[in-house]
């Protein structure tokens, strides 16, 4: 058996290439949209991709199953579980609980594991030339290393009311199926640490059934379903805005993108014309370079592993936008964008100093300066971290507005006061700063050191939890 785990750090998303070396057939599970990766694996190892499958209708990335099928001619095998509202609306072979996919001498048995979503399935792999006992389970967003899939995404991200409690109850039952598997079976999921599909995902990519039964919090409740549900639904991170669009696009027919796009580098004249028309500018440089000089109205979304997530929060699927990025970074950024379906790139530029526009400098303040603004009547301090982080510890009298929802909550920020924003370490506050500046907030400052610097200097004064403050 041939096995390769393909991991996208930008979305903490895992996919799998599995082949039977005796027959040269291969299957891909939960493919990302830039499918050239799988084509290259097949070419280098003399495989033909004959089967393609998914564990569920994904919400956090645009699955590349259809692109891969169009290029290779491979058949798609997708879940037909979950009822009429949870069916894929394009051609495929439907899968039900206990169905078998044969890939050469390998078999993948379908296990219906609802909870994260109603149609969710897992695949139990047996390598028959070696043994008739299962060796791996591919769990999708069902069981992660150290965590399980959240059942509230359909309600929070897709607006489908009344689904989270039902999903939590289904998850409780599905875990019993998982726990009945042999303890030696390897566990391979669709996500790792950093994904918003759970709240405590481990950084290790693989585990075993036995290890998860011992260490995963979800298996510690035995028959106490009520406490399990309460713990599962508590303190889940904010689901990115783009999740609803992914859920839709992964279900319905859509245009396919069979190659990684090559975006045009704009001339100064082309850029200025687009800028004057109001096309959104995304500055992907690091926050320090952005702070030294940025184009007025541009948004700073750094081109790191969080780029896709924040782009999904702040961009929509109808508007065009321009990237500011180095030539050697543009392909990587394009891949990150196409993985969540953001294809409307008008073009890019590399040097803000050649754009012919007077640059602005960000107003960054240090810890000592930040202290002078605390508890002043004419100052509003805004914490732009996630709600769970804020409730765990924040600075006294700080207002909480998560950066991902800032655009929709500008009315909660005063243009008549000095506005000081902070996050944990400065990345999210740089996003927030650029967003506020774009929306006409001129009296805004960024405490870039954030909570990390505050706590590192033993400033316990005015540290608050969701219920108390330490003085």
- Distance between CA atoms of residues 190 and 172, nearest Å: 19
Same domain, 103 and 226: yes
What is the predicted pLDDT for the residue at 132?
Answer: 94
Segment 112-143, tens digit of pLDDT:
999 999 999 999 999 998 899 999 999 999 99
**286 domain residue, yes or no:** yes
Whether 252 has a pLDDT exceeding 70, the answer reads yes
Residue 408 is given by DSSP the state G
Read off the tokens for 342. Answer: 């953001």
**259 domain residue, yes or no:** no
- Distance between CA atoms of residues 246 and 468, nearest Å: 39
Segment 16-57, tens digit of pLDDT:
999 999 999 999 999 999 999 999 999 999 999 999 999 999
Same domain, 221 and 100: yes
Segment 328-364, tens digit of pLDDT:
999 999 999 999 999 999 999 999 998 889 999 999 9
Q: How far from the centroid of its chain's Cα atoms is residue 95's Cα? A: 26
Question: Over the chain, what is the mean pLDDT?
Answer: 94
State the greatest distance between any 2 C-alpha atoms of the chain, in Å, as a whole number: 74
What is the predicted pLDDT for the residue at 159?
Answer: 67
Helix, strand, or coil (residue 213): helix
More confident residue, 441 or 130: 441
Would strands 121-127 and 136-140 be described as parallel, antiparallel, or unpaired? antiparallel
Same domain, 235 and 377: no
What is the predicted pLDDT for the residue at 157?
Answer: 65
Average pLDDT over residues 440-445: 96
Scanning the structure block, which residue is given the tokens 């004064």? 461
pTM confidence score: 0.94
Q: How does 432-443 read in b/e, with b if 16+ C-beta sit within 10 Å?
A: bbbbbbbeebeb
Q: How does 213-245 read in b/e, with b if 16+ C-beta sit within 10 Å?
A: beebebbebeeeeeebbebbeeebbbbbbbbbb
Same domain, 210 and 79: yes
Q: Is 381 exposed, middle or buried (0-12, 13-18, 19+ CB in 10 A)?
A: buried
Scanning the structure block, which residue is given the tokens 């608050």? 464
Q: Is 128 exposed, middle or buried (0-12, 13-18, 19+ CB in 10 A)?
A: middle
Confidence of residue 471 (pLDDT cuts 50, 70, 90): very low
What is the predicted pLDDT for the residue at 361?
Answer: 97
Q: Which residues neighbour 429 within 8 Å (Cβ) at sequence distance 6 or greater?
A: 384, 403, 421, 422, 423, 446, 447, 448, 450
- Distance between CA atoms of residues 53 and 123, nearest Å: 10
Closest CA to 53 of 114, 111, 135, 10: 111
What is the predicted pLDDT for the residue at 155?
Answer: 76
CA dist 29 to 61, 64, 154, 292, Å?
14, 10, 22, 44
Same domain, 126 and 234: yes
**263 domain residue, yes or no:** no
Same domain, 124 and 233: yes
Q: How far from the centroid of its chain's Cα atoms is residue 395's Cα? A: 28
Same domain, 299 and 226: no
Print the domain residue range for 111: 2-249
Q: Residue 128 sits in a domain of what CATH number?
A: 3.60.15.10
Whether 470 has a pLDDT exceeding 60, the answer reads no
**256 domain residue, yes or no:** no
What is the predicted pLDDT for the residue at 238?
Answer: 86
Q: Is 162 exposed, middle or buried (0-12, 13-18, 19+ CB in 10 A)?
A: exposed
Q: Residue 402 sits in a domain of what CATH number?
A: 3.40.250.10
What is the predicted pLDDT for the residue at 468?
Answer: 58
What is the predicted pLDDT for the residue at 332?
Answer: 97
SS (H, E, C) 37-60: HHHHHHHHCCCEEEEEECCCCCCC
Same domain, 335 and 373: no
* Category of 413 on φ-ψ map: left (φ > 0), alpha (ψ -120 to 50) or beta: beta
Whether 460 has a pLDDT exceeding 60, the answer reads no
Closest CA to 190 of 68, 28, 77: 28
Query: Angle at the Cα of 248 (from 245 to 254), degrees rounded to 5?
Result: 100
Same domain, 145 and 100: yes
Same domain, 331 and 183: no
Length of the chain: 471
Per the structure, how many domains does the chain have? Answer: 3
What is the predicted pLDDT for the residue at 196?
Answer: 74
């Amino acid at each position: 058996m041939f096995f390769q785990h393909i991991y996208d750090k930008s979305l903490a998303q895992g996919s799998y290439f599995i082949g039977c070396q005796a027959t040269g057939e291969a299957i891909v599970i939960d493919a990302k949209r830039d499918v050239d990766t799988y084509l290259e694996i097949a070419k280098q190892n003399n495989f033909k991709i004959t089967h393609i499958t998914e564990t569920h209708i994904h919400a956090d990335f645009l699955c590349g199953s259809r692109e891969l099928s169009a290029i290779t001619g491979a058949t798609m095998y997708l879940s037909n579980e979950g009822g009429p509202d949870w069916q894929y609306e394009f051609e495929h072979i439907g899968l039900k609980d206990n169905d078998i996919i044969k890939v050469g001498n390998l078999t993948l048995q379908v296990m219906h594991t609802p909870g994260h979503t109603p149609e969710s399935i897992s695949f139990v792999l047996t390598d028959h030339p070696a043994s008739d006992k299962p060796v791996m389970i591919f769990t999708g967003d069902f069981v992660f290393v150290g965590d399980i899939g959240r059942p509230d995404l359909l309600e929070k991200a897709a607006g489908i009311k009344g689904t989270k409690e039902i999903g939590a109850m289904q998850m409780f039952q599905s875990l019993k199926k998982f726990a009945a598997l042999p303890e030696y079976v390897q566990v391979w999921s669709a996500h790792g640490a950093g994904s918003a599909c759970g709240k405590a995902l481990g950084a290790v990519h693989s585990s075993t059934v036995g290890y998860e039964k011992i260490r995963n919090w979800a298996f510690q409740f035995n028959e106490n379903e009520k406490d399990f549900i309460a713990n599962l639904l508590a303190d889940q991170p904010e689901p990115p805005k783009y999740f609803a669009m992914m859920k839709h696009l992964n279900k319905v027919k859509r245009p396919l993108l069979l190659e990684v796009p090559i975006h045009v580098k704009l001339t100064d004249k082309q850029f200025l014309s687009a800028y004057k028309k109001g096309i959104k500018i995304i500055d992907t440089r690091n926050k320090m370079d952005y702070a030294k000089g940025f184009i007025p109205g541009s948004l700073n979304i750094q081109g790191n592993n969080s780029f896709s997530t924040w782009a999904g929060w702040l961009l929509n699927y109808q508007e065009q936008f321009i990237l500011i990025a180095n030539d050697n970074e543009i392909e990587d950024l394009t891949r990150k964008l196409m993985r969540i379906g953001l294809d409307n790139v008008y073009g890019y530029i590399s040097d803000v100093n050649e754009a012919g526009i007077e640059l602005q400098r960000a107003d960054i303040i240090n810890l000592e300066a930040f202290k002078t603004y605390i508890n002043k009547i004419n100052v509003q301090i805004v914490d732009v971290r996630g709600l769970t982080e804020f409730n765990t510890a924040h600075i006294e009298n700080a207002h909480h507005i998560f950066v991902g929802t800032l655009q929709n909550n500008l009315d909660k920020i005063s243009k008549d006061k000095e506005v000081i924003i902070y996050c944990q370490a400065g990345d999210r506050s740089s996003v927030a700063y650029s967003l506020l500046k774009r929306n006409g907030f001129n009296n805004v400052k960024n405490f870039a050191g954030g909570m990390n610097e505050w706590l590192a200097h033993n400033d316990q004064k005015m540290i608050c939890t969701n219920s108390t403050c330490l003085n």
